Structure formats: C-alpha cells, structure tokens
Structure 1
Amino acid sequence: MTDHLTNEWGNGVRIAAVETAVIEGNFDWILVRVTTDDGSSGLGEAYWGAGVLELIKAASAFIISKNPFDVARIIFELQRCLSGAGSQAGATVTTISGIELALWDLVARALDTPLSTLFGGRFRDRIRLYVDLHAGEEPTPESWAIRARDALARGFSAVKFDIDAPNPYRASSAENTDPWRLWYEPYNRTMSAAERRFIVDVVSAVRAAIGPDIDLALDCHWKYAVPDAIALAHALEPLLPVWLEDPVPPDNVDALRAVARSTRIPICTGENHYRLAGFRELILRQACQFVAHDIPKWAASSRPATSLHWLNSMGCSSSHTTSRVPSARWQPHNSARPYPTSSRSSFMLSISHGGRNSFSNDHSSKTVTSSSPIALGMV
C-alpha cells in the first residue's frame, strides 16, 4: 500500500504497465498484472483461449496513463474500444475481465481493505466448498463410490460428479455392447436405456457411500437432447441431487427451461454465458435455479454485487430455491485457478444469496512460462 494512493484515491497515480504470465495447469492460466507509476500493482486472471494474450496487449494501449481507481470507466472504455473484436462474448470479454480483476486487486491493496468490502461488505465470513470429483478411476459404481468416500474423509460436505464421463454404453464408445447401439449415433445427443441405467447405478453407489445428508451435484456438460435429459433427470430424482448441471447445450434457453419445468431436480448453468446480460433470459424465463457464472467471463465485477442484490430484491434471485418459484441462486464456477478462486470468494462473501464455491480435485499447475517480465515470485 502507498500513502499517496490511499490519501488521494489515485489522484496523480497512473497506470504504467499491463503485463502477462502464463502458468501451465490443467489448461493455461493467463495472469494479468497492472502496475502504476509508483510501483503499486494488482493481479487478475483472464480465461484461457486463443488470442487472449494479443488482446490484452491491444487493450493495454487504451488504459496506460489512466487512473487505476476509475475501474468502471476503464471497463466501459475497453468495451467500447474493443467492440469491433466482439466485446459481448468470447476472448474479448475474458481479456477485459482479467484486466478488471487486476484493477480491483490493485485498488483493494492500495486501500488495505478486503475486496469483499469494495463489493458492498460481507454477509458471511466463511464459504462452503464442494469438491468436483469428475468420475471414478474405472467406469464402475464401486470406483465412483471410492472417490466419494475419499472426499468425505477429507472433510468435504458436498461433492460433484461428471455423469457424462466415458462409459461402455455410450453410442460412440468402441466398447459399447448394447444391442441397440446401431440405432444410436454420436451426433444427435441421444442416450440408450443401458447408458441411462449405468449413470443411475454409479450415482446410486455414490449416494449410498455418502449418505442422505451430503450434497451431491451432477454435471452433464451440455451432452444431451431435451427428451433424454428429461428422462435422465426423472431417473435420478429419487437420489436427490442438489442440482443437475448443463443437461442440454447452452445456446437455447427454451430447451433448458423445458428440462427445468419437467423435473424436481434444480437445474444449474452459466459457465458458457458472458457478462450480466448473458444471464438475463436464464433468470427471467426461469430456466435454472442455480447460476454458475465464471468470474473471468463476467467483465462486470465493478457492479456484480449491486446487480445481484437488485435481482434478489425483484424476486429473481433468492437463497431459497425450488423448481416452483422464479428464483436463482448464484453458484460460481471454478476450474481451480488461483486468482478467480480468490475473486469468487470475495464475491460470495458479499452477496446474500450465494451458494457453494467449487474446488477441483484433479487440477494442478506444472510449469511457468513468461510472456512479459512478471517476476516468477509473484506467481
């Protein structure tokens, strides 16, 4: 922290550099550092993707010499200046998000205050984690159950599994022995009865292993068509999942709404949606009960808590969610990257209707490569 920044709220201090570094993890973690002319700095992260580093370099030209405390103004200008590159979604939004997170980190450090304070203060001091276990080591119910029991032994009270993980009954699997296989093919998002039974069997084994009081979330990764997603949801209802995530592709809100209205399992979605506007139809059309936004795709952290408090006040967001009421609980998505984990935590502390923050069981960093002179000690 510097007295100059703190006492004058950034007057006279200007952005001097925007730098990047890449950490090789489960995928590339693109870190962004914004530094001022007095040496103060903040760290953020942009979601990975082709062209993001180039876009950060292009964006930096628009913010050099700007007051780092003018976060909302800087983001507004970046969205306008980069509009020709697609500032509503994709790599441009993740670029802007990474810079914005770095700016907020810089401001919070300068004021020597938690980021959650800048988002409006805290509703809670602790955040519940769920662990994303993906799947068993083998495609067997017992293998899935072993992984679930291990998570409980480590103290987790909520777990998530990817029920779209490879299995011997999938239509595209060379090991598929289902005699009806010839009637299915890998491009129409269908599911055979045998595959559905397999999924129910492994989830049943997990539920038996963890008992009735542990939250169990299930992720489909947009794999299925509406009829198959509904049939799967109905088969899973007796196992009481806390949510069914992304059962259908993300580009059709009405399709997701059809699934949500056909099952008692709450529907979760959001990691493929960008900016606050990307969630408007999901909420207004009651297409989900949990919104799993990805902070590095948000590009609106200057107003997240304010926006979500507004949604809560109009009845579109609530901590009490069922399939029968027009509500959505905010449930941040996380792929175990370090700085989004921190920003999500600050975000979750500052809203009344947050859910659980996610933790990935298998993701870890390996090596570091530098695309500009960020000291590796900072990473």
Structure 2
Amino acid sequence: MVCSHPPQILTITPNPALDVTLTTDTLPPGATVRIPTGSYRLGGKGINVAAVAASAGYATTMMAPVSASALDFLRHYPDSIPTQPAAHWITTPCQLRHTYALHQSVANTTTMVTETGSAQPSEVWTQLSEATTDCLDQAAATDHPIVVVISGSWPPATPLATITDLYQAVSTHPGCAALIVDCAGEPLTAACEHGAIVKPNLAELTETTGHTNPIDGAHALLGRGAAAVIVSCGEDGLIAAYPSHTITAKLPYPLDGNPTGCGDALVAALATGHADKAPLQTIIRTAVAWSASAVLVAYAGAIDPQWEALLHQVQLTAVPHTPPPASPPPHTRACPT
C-alpha cells in the first residue's frame, strides 16, 4: 500500500535531480573560485513543493523515480533528502541527473545549469501510475480527496501519451480534489486540455503559447481548457488568470537572495490553499508571500518565516478581462527544468 493514510497533497516529480547549490561573492570568467562546501539535496520541482508543503504542516507524500544507488549516495549528506514528506520512490536503473545553481551574492544573480536527464523505461511510468491510482483510491474510499501536483520537466523521449494518460487518470479520479501542473511545451498544453491548474513562468508561457504578452498567453491557455493559469513573474509577482477574471499580485519591493526555489514555493501555496478550500485571494496572497520568502533561503524546498509579515504587503490589482486571443501553434520542445 503506497499511502497508509491518504495525504492532503501528493506530488509527482517525473525528472528528479541532485540539486547542487554553489554560492560565491563573484564568479570572474576563467578564474578559480574557492567556496565553502556546496549544498547537495535531492530535488526536482515536485520534491521541493512537497518539502515546503510538509514544513507548513500539511500531510504530504512525494513520488519520483529514484535509483537505490542515488539514495545511498545522498545519505552521506545531512539534510539532503527532505524528511517531513512521506516518500514513495519508484525504483529505476537510471541515475539522477544534476542541476547546478551558481549564485553570486554581490550581483545577486543565479545561473542555472541543468542536465536533461535519462529516458526512463516504460515500466517506471507504469509503476508510478499504479502508485498514484492506489493513493487516489484510498482518498476516494475515505472521502478525503487530495490535491495532486505534477511538477517539473519530463525526461527526454518520454512519450506524450504516457504524460496525457497520467493526466487523464488523475483528473477524472474521484479521489482528486485538484490537479496542478508546472511545466511547459506540449505537456503543459495537454494539462490544460485535462482541466488542470497550470503554473508556467514567463519563459515557459511564451515557449508554449508563442505570446510575448503574458496576459494574452494566460488567456490562450484558458482557452485550451485550463481551470486557472498562474504565471510566475519573478520579482514582479504573479498573474492569476481565471475564466471569469484576471488579477496581478506582487510585493511593493523586490527581495535580495537566491530565487531558485521561488516557483516551487508558489506551487506549494497553490496546493495547500486548494487543500484548505481557501478563498482565491487568500491563495494568491499566500503564493506571493511564500514565493518571495523562498528568496531568503539558500536552497530550494524551503521558505523563510518572514512570509507571514510579507503576506500583508501583497498588492492585488484587477486586470480587465478580454476573450482569449487566437494562439499561435504551441512549441513542441520538452518542458525545461
């Protein structure tokens, strides 16, 4: 049995990674830079989402394909694997890909270098789908539907049918309270067509829709069937587009720090808010506050306690609603990390 007790939130990370965060004052080209030991953590968007949700007190289970050798390696690094979310690892012969966050504290910039990962055997996806259905069956049997988050890139060569079959199984299951998807390209478009709440960032939105205006891009995804489109806009906060209305939300000033885990904190706020059936404005305010406070933490998968003070400073602005514009043909590249 995957879930001994159905969680409030289930996160699925199709393409987990060993997240390496390196922080230095500056990074001169061609120079040798010495730093204290970097941070090594099991990551990937869904795992980071699970860690944030669990730290906020929500019963959370995370699923991902992770090899036994990768887990053995990570046990040598304290705090490399989040302990608060329950974990169900799908056994795979593939090794973890690596992501590198190079943060320069003086310029307050972070450069991301990410491996795309390895194609997974078909049996890995079969096992992940079966485990997901098992968890949802238990949720339906106890009349406690759960929020399902599918977050992050898919490994290269993953068949689109594999992705859409998972969306279909989750979105139509009585044990699912809401489906939230964070990726780009064809997997994002398919998520919209299955009625998901989607959370692209600005680059992913343009890649997927062809629109450079984020309002137009968000409305285009609504036109494809998304229940809501939440666009993360960095220090400019977010755009929240619903079929009936659109709002923007931001803090009056940016925060300095490492933005690597901001999007994952935002998704965690969406998931916990829908688990609570909170009012939409409350969910959006919390999403901005959690996302902003994640800047103050050196690694992804955590938020700073200052989020509560930031919550009351979030500014909401209504955007005049217009019909979704015609969308250019979506790009077909696999969604980025």
Give me the TM-score of the superposition, normalised by structure 2. Answer: 0.37
Kindly indicate which of the two structures has a greater share of residues assigned to helix: 1
- Structure (1 or 2) with the greater strand fraction: 2
